[in-house]
Amino acid sequence: MKKQDDLSVGGALFLSVIFAIMAILSYNSDESGNPIAIIPAIGVIVGLVMALNAKSKASDRKARKEQQDIFAQTLDYDDCFGNGDLKLYFNSQKQDVTVCATTNEGRNTQVVRDFSVTETVKTDSYIVSYDATHNKILRIKNNNGNIMLKEFNLNYTLKKWDVVMKKSTPAVKAYNDYAFITDDVNEFVAIVTPTSMHLHRYSDIVSITYEENGNDMYNKSLGGAVVGGLLFGGVGAIVGSNTAKAVKNKKIERMSIKILLKSTSDPTILLEIFKAGKDRAILETKNTADKFFYEGLMKEVTGIKDIFSIIIDIVDKSSASQNQQISVSTSNSIADELTKLVQLKDAGVLTEEEFQAQKAKLLQ
């Protein structure tokens, strides 16, 4: 989730009008030349500059959109995704995707072959497209008109795991600057970050932890209870008076999610949700704008938390089922051996003492 700081042209002009009224009122109430009276006048100038800047940005967006529209007319495609800055055009018959990135002056294009789109999502800074047929993932970004494209092929890892792929409908979701592809049938999860891609079996996930300013706020692990709780559940969650008060007075420097794996070489995946100094200053929820932004981030944290909490539940349920099957199998095996011992005793092969001794061994 990006913090929106830009005003529209209308918003900037409205701000200028407010400052102009303040300047007139200040002048009429004090004509002595009080320096404080000039502050609203400065505000008018700032507002006009912001309006001109907003108009320039709107004009740039319009120019890029027009370039995309002109380019789209030259293509044969049946689906598309994106906006004027970056757009993907899919052709299901040819099984390819054409990527177009624009600037005010021109555009760049790139074609990816053998790609049949399943689902496409937008993160804060890039587009992720998934092809379940070819097991491919595309991560694409417009970098000042240059196409930054990374293709990930899942087949090598899936073959290494000896996975026989079953027909499924994977889910693709985006939260913050990350995309998540989950396949509940074949039980694997792909995590696409701005710098890499992680592919893991559900059974590789040990725990999910949400940290705020270095303190654990939520943790769920295999076979364990949930520790802590998030402040916000879904979008419509109700915040109690005590919790609301705590949220109102928070100072947030860092928000992160840690995913612990069954691996000593690469045990943790760290997902940075917010970090002060990286993009902006510390979030102080006593400020209305920061509070709304923090609540928006928490909804994204909840979305990621829910994905991996469900994965952990699936693994726990599978483990319990396997343990039950082993227990039943063991019980059946003991019953079969006891039946054989009884038959041997009835046939006179075993004495009563020998029968009781063998029976005691089986039941240990």
Q: What is the pLDDT of residue 22?
A: 57
Same domain assignment for residues 49 and 80: no
Same domain assignment for residues 313 and 324: no
Q: What is the pLDDT of residue 206?
A: 94
Q: What is the pLDDT of residue 23?
A: 56
Q: What is the pLDDT of residue 243?
A: 47
Same domain assignment for residues 314 and 324: no
Q: For residue 303, what are the domain limits?
A: 200-318
Same domain assignment for residues 313 and 339: no
Q: What is the pLDDT of residue 237?
A: 42
Same domain assignment for residues 206 and 254: yes
Same domain assignment for residues 39 and 117: no
Q: Is residue 179 part of a domain?
A: no
Q: What is the pLDDT of residue 256?
A: 96
Same domain assignment for residues 239 and 265: yes
Q: Is residue 3 part of a domain?
A: no
Contact 269, 198 (CB under 8 A): yes
Predicted TM-score of the model (pTM): 0.74
Q: Is residue 186 part of a domain?
A: no
Number of domains in the chain: 4
Q: What is the pLDDT of residue 239?
A: 41
Q: Is residue 189 part of a domain?
A: no
Cβ atoms < 10 Å from Cβ of 163? 16
Q: Is residue 194 part of a domain?
A: no
Q: Is residue 184 part of a domain?
A: no
Q: Could you report the average pLDDT of every consecutive run of 10 residues in the chain (364 residues)?
A: 57 55 56 56 61 67 88 95 95 96 90 96 97 96 94 92 88 97 95 96 95 93 73 44 58 95 91 84 90 93 96 86 51 68 74 77 68
Q: Is residue 4 part of a domain?
A: no
Q: Is residue 191 part of a domain?
A: no
What angle separates helix 352-362 from helix 288-346, to the nearest 10 degrees?
Answer: 170
Q: What is the pLDDT of residue 12?
A: 47
Q: Which residue has the tokens 């497209």?
A: 129
Q: What is the pLDDT of residue 263?
A: 86
Same domain assignment for residues 121 and 216: no
Task: Output the CA–CA distances (angstroms, integers) from residue 49 to 3, 16, 167, in the order listed.
Answer: 21, 9, 57
Same domain assignment for residues 207 and 236: yes
Q: What is the pLDDT of residue 259?
A: 97
Same domain assignment for residues 236 and 127: no
Same domain assignment for residues 53 and 81: no
Same domain assignment for residues 310 and 236: yes
Q: What is the pLDDT of residue 32?
A: 54
